Chain A
Amino acid sequence: MWAKMLEYILTHRAALLAQIGTHLWISLAALAAAVLIGVPCGYLAANSPGTEKWISAPFHVLRVIPSLAILVLLIPVAGTGALPAVIALTILAVPPVLLNTIVGFRDVPPFMTESAAGMGMTDKEILWKVRIPLAMPMIFAGIRTALVEVIASAALAARIGAGGLGEVIFTGLGLNRMDLLLLGGVLVAALSLLCGGLFDALARSLMPYRNLARQQ
């Protein structure tokens, strides 16, 4: 089996690299879109306590829906291919980012903002120098959760014609070839762990002041 796996890697090197590239591209595009949507919406929601419950409730529901269901449900609306996959993955990634942003801003201790105001900071300074830095660890934890989820679901997206490393696994399933299954599985797992590790390193270097709170 190992020999066959090695042979496959050598003969399909270009295709494999392209699949890794597609996988990363789809995942990161969806994650970027989710951050662009989730963080501002979460900030707005955290600022208006009355509406917060109404905004977070549907996202809690969305969080519960199986990822495969979301991917597949979008086909009648968006069709198949890479772009629908990115849309579906964005829908999957928004809830953790948005919910964590709300919690992050809400949990900034009031005495911190009050003392900042007492020192004569303007509202803008309080936002950029106090509230955002303090909410950041929570927001980053949400983005990390979303990252892991998106990479996992991007493997499934191969089923709706988006390409990526899921193709190797599904081909292996279809042909009953253990070498392809193992290769695809290990590559997807390694990609997920590697991205998680890189993200942790990024978070540590950006926020040396606080451990990244693990949150799910």
Chain B
Amino acid sequence: MIKFMTRHPEKIYIPLLEHIELVFLTLIISVVIASVLTLICLQNERLSLWLQQLLGVVYSIPSLALFAILIPVTGLGRTTAVIALTAYNQYLLLRNFTTGLNEVDPAVTDAAKGIGMTWLQVLTKVQIPLAKRALFAGIRLAVVSTIGIGTIAASINAGGLGTLLFDGLRTMNMARILWGSMLSAGLAIVTNALLKAAEERL
């Protein structure tokens, strides 16, 4: 295992960097889309319920199946992976965003409206600061789930740590299998711990 690392360091750090890049890209796109959806959902309760149910159904589609269904449409590669991962994140993000914002004490938002704040001011100056922990928790869940599902994205040529795992499986190369699984598990655990620590300091 050590030999593999010293001989082929690029076969370890390139998938790792690719993986982090994939997670970042997905996260940015997901948060933007989820924020827009959240704003829409806050206006319309029925639409919100309907959308959450739809996203729940999408979320319970196994990732390998979703990738397979998307390939005839968007082809192999990273685009498909990002689309699927973003779709999964919407469920986690939207649910946490809307419940977080809705759980702000109505007395506080009423008071804010009472002193003449506009709808936008209530949102940015009252609701978001009060709900920031719940919002951040949603992002943490999304990041961890993206890291996990991102390993499977290697099966559709999206790169990342999954390449180590799938290549290792094909050639029964234990060094690759161990590096791939330990790095992906380690990345998920460390990221989760770091984000949790950040969340508690908010």
Q: A-side interface residues toward B, CB under 8 Å?
A: 1, 61, 64-70, 72-73, 75-76, 148, 151-153, 155-156, 159-160, 166, 169-170, 172-173, 178, 181-182, 184-189, 192-193, 196, 214, 216
Contact = CB atoms under 8 A, between A and B. Distances in A.
B198 interface: no
Contacts of B36: none
The size class of the interface chain B forms with chain A is 35 or more
Secondary structure call for the B interface: helix
B168 interface: yes
B77 interface: no
Interface stretch (B113-121, B122-130, B181-189): B181-189
Contacts of B139: none
Given A169-B65, A181-B69, A193 B57 contact: yes
Interface of B: 56-57, 60-69, 71-72, 92, 141, 144, 147-152, 155-156, 162, 165-166, 168-169, 174, 177-178, 180-182, 184-185, 188-189, 192
B192 A193 contact: no
Contacts of A189: 61-62, 65-66, 69
Given A69-B181, A72-B169, A178-B72, A188 B147 contact: no
B66 A185 contact: yes
A72 B180 contact: yes
Given A188-B68, A189-B62, A189-B66, 6 more contacts: A66-B150, A66-B188, A69-B165, A72-B169, A76-B177, A193-B61
Contacts of B65: 152, 155, 169, 184-189, 192
Task: With a 10 A CB-CB cut-off, give which of B69, B166, B177, B192 has the most chain A CB atoms.
Answer: B69
Contacts of A70: 181, 185
Contacts of B182: 69, 73
Contact of B92 (A152, A173, A216): A216
Contacts of A153: 62
Contacts of A216: 92, 141
A72 B61 CA distance: 22
Nearest to B156: A173
A66 B92 contact: no
B68 A151 contact: no
Contacts of A68: 148, 151-152, 162, 165, 181, 184
Contacts of A76: 174, 177-178
B154 to A, nearest CB: 9
Contact of A152 (B63, B71, B72, B144): B63
